[in-house]
Copies of this chain bind each other. A is one copy, B any other.
Amino acid sequence: MCESNAYLKDGENEVMLMESVDSIEPYENGLKLMDSFGKEMFIKARIKNMNLLNHRIILEELPLTDL
């Protein structure tokens, strides 16, 4: 199967966020991720890089504003 896993970059670490990501699209100020079971996740992040051959999508959190 061709889904990738999504990781959130946290400093030097990469934290698993969602397995078997099927689709990603912009949503408000972040992204909507959906896995192959239809589960959705919303996160204030952007794509840092993705490598489909390695099945890895790395996201990074957007800076918080208005705080």
Contact = CB atoms under 8 A, between A and B. Distances in A.
A8 to B, nearest CB: 16
A22 to B, nearest CB: 5
Nearest to A3: B52
Interface string A32-45: 00001000000000
Nearest to A21: B52
- Chain A interface residue count: which class? 20 to 34
Nearest to A50: B24
B25 A50 contact: yes
Contact of A53 (B22, B47, B51): B22
Contacts of A21: 52
Contacts of A2: 2, 4, 52-53, 55
